[in-house]
Chain A
């Protein structure tokens, strides 16, 4: 499997191949034709089965596409093979018939919704039915090198029977491309409704060509990037955008009494290490209450030990000089503080920037420079944490909770009222289920257009 992949997608072209707008337009036109011929007539159950079978294959250690992803992935994506393996397994483990059914049921109210007119329970009584139709052609502007959001987008687009053109970011092409090739091997006609491409940011003529063909454009990026994009969407096309987000963890005193603390430290470390903290679901800060048997400062120290242990099994990927320099300079800042005040402490990986834990009594929310650089902050209660996280309000995706079950409900309510869109257990921050409502929006539900039929 060392030979080059066959030329099925634009991303398969040699790196020096130059794309021109006409190629993008022609690719979109053939995607639409192929969709009409092969995909539009598929049933939900056949697509669900195909996706689940494919996921099963991806989980086999000897599956050639998986092997290739783990072999070539570190150089392209910047993640270590172990990190990629853990992250991809997490994704494909979730991609089952049962979970896909749950997602369709949740977002669309009936399993047959995408096949034609169907009725939910309440609609039967009302003598109504409805059909959820996917966009004809989705253009995905995928951000960054995290493969899971891109794979999720492709999966949802297949469910809605949409032709899809995915423009990947630098370092983010390999895995969507391998996924598309694995689909090609399983069902070439469906893969002919997909296009994977990469071009350097700012290639406006290529993007214009793509947007002029698309029915729906999905994009992830900074507020600034999305604002610029919004003005470039042609009339008649729809933009579905996801801004950058931050996440944090919250651990109560009660959770740190008794024997549970060790598991909590492991879970916190798992969240920091997953995808080298690059995702919007990765924590920047862990807020820890001070009245437990393990104090926040001790928690930070235990977390440092755990991150070192994890580094040995699940090494962080290599960094650019700029990224390393960002960590080194941040460390220097906190080192100066730590030398002069007991209110700051810092633990660093030896002879590398692999991980960093900064403990502070100052509860102000502090965005991390990422790549496994975590702030542990002592905080009296959730109200105090939220007060000090005000600068991030409206931009918080996930809060990972380390709390005993009896405390969970009231905490969840408090965070939800403040505007957090996802709460989960610590350790699961980077493992959202397929049914996750992305930044508070139904991921599948937002793609479709409905036709209501009132029969009475």
Chain B
């Protein structure tokens, strides 16, 4: 095998790939002086680096790749199950370089996933985040540079209050980038560790700041929105955000009892905030990853027309495979399987992550069906969830609860 080079060299090549592959304003790829490597080449290089620097992953791969065989394509790179991020320290970073750690949240008693970051790895994370969020959140902003910057209202607590939330970190980076002077984090952390939201903190900036031309972006988890809308409902009020306003909903209910179907939630958001449904964007990400998928309802330059069903797509440097849980083989178009993601931006952790989320393969994207819930019992045997309360311990596998997209 060729010498894999250094992570710095890898990052440079990855940036070249990113620049070459993201279409800006529907035009041709941005011009670059650096030759762009292929996805396959980057995957091969990163796999070698991770095997060399991530001992827990290397041990796992030795079990998967019998007789020391080497993956022939990126599809064969052993994927680490999300459970592995709870059990093991999966990082290429020496302890001294770890400046940040993101934990999965969730309300189950089991250990959280951990994703360690350094300055360099966060830089890759941010490059990936901004490159792919731009065409989805602000598809026309470059064309009209004079357009006022949006007012951004994040429904989560601040990054200072929840430093280990990758979701909040993501929102903070987006706010810095798109509206550095006007980011608001409206949520609080209650004594039980849950996130709450004071509706006044939402209404005040909307009423004070909004002008007819300044769009408002409201970003948060699905449960944040349920909470906000419940409060607006209680006050018997609604707001009419200015034209061009957007909502980004990241899925996830953090184990809360009140859940709404996505369709119903979006209809409600549309009614209460005055944002048309085609300006509601869904995001799918995990604390274990460094790239995010967005659904393609907001027409986005460089992609074909928006489809009517919500279909998630990762950026060109991260690919999702939908695998049959029965055979482990890729499913056909329209079929359901477990989502596996190979994320080239996940440089210092593990690039290939096997989630427990089910998705339906749709062309080059997927429809998210969520965490595989424990199937209805067919016989009369007790289900593990019926004993879950008492048998949870470090010795137990995690119980099915909610989609990974919440676990950030």
Which residues of chain A have a CB within 8 Å of any CB of chain B? 78, 143-146, 149, 171, 220, 222-223, 242, 244-246, 275, 277-280, 282, 284, 319-330, 332-340, 351-353, 360, 362, 364-370, 390-392, 395
**Additional pairs, 15, CB under 8 Å, beyond known A367-B382, A367-B387:** A242-B380, A244-B377, A246-B381, A246-B387, A275-B379, A319-B326, A321-B325, A321-B358, A328-B338, A332-B354, A333-B397, A333-B398, A340-B87, A369-B374, A395-B382
Residues from 302 to 357 in B contacting A, C-beta threshold 8 Å: 324-328, 336-338, 354, 356
B375 touches A322 (CB 8 A): yes
With a CB–CB cut-off of 8 A, which chain B residues contact A395? Answer: 382, 386-387
* Residue among B379, B383, B391 with max Cβ neighbours from chain A (10 Å): B379
Known: A280-B380, A321-B325, A339-B60. A326 touches B372 (CB 8 A): yes
A143, A284, A330: the one contacting B397 at CB < 8 Å is A330
A244 touches B382 (CB 8 A): yes
Interface size class of B (residues with CB under 8 A): 35 or more
From A245, which residue of chain B is reached at the shortest CB distance?
B382
* Residue among B59, B87, B372, B373 with max Cβ neighbours from chain A (10 Å): B372
B326 touches A278 (CB 8 A): no
B325, B381, B396: the one contacting A364 at CB < 8 Å is B396
* Residue among B60, B358, B397 with max Cβ neighbours from chain A (10 Å): B397
Instruction: Sort A-B residue pairs by CB-CB distance and give the 5 closest, nearest first.
Output: A278-B379, A332-B81, A391-B390, A367-B384, A325-B372
Does residue B80 face the partner (Cβ distance < 8 Å to A)?
A: yes
A280 touches B379 (CB 8 A): yes
B383 touches A222 (CB 8 A): yes
Residues from 251 to 287 in B contacting A, C-beta threshold 8 Å: none
* Complex Cα gap A318–B392 (Å): 29
A277, A321, A364, A367: the one contacting B395 at CB < 8 Å is A364
A321 touches B393 (CB 8 A): no
B80 touches A145 (CB 8 A): no
B63, B384, B387: the one contacting A338 at CB < 8 Å is B63
A391 touches B391 (CB 8 A): yes
With a CB–CB cut-off of 8 A, which chain A residues contact B374? Answer: 322, 326, 369
From B56, which residue of chain A is reached at the shortest CB distance?
A340
A149, A336, A338, A364: the one contacting B380 at CB < 8 Å is A149
A282, A320, A353: the one contacting B375 at CB < 8 Å is A320
* Chain B nearest CB, measured from A369 CB (Å): 6
From B79, which residue of chain A is reached at the shortest CB distance?
A332
* Chain A nearest CB, measured from B387 CB (Å): 5
B380 touches A246 (CB 8 A): no
* Complex Cα gap A45–B298 (Å): 75
* Complex Cα gap A319–B56 (Å): 33
From A243, which residue of chain B is reached at the shortest CB distance?
B382
B382 touches A329 (CB 8 A): no
Does residue B70 face the partner (Cβ distance < 8 Å to A)?
A: no
Instruction: Indicate with 1 or 0, residue by residue over B70-106, a CB within 8 angstroms of chain A CB atoms.
Output: 0000000000110110011000000000000000000
With a CB–CB cut-off of 8 A, which chain B residues contact A144? Answer: 377-380
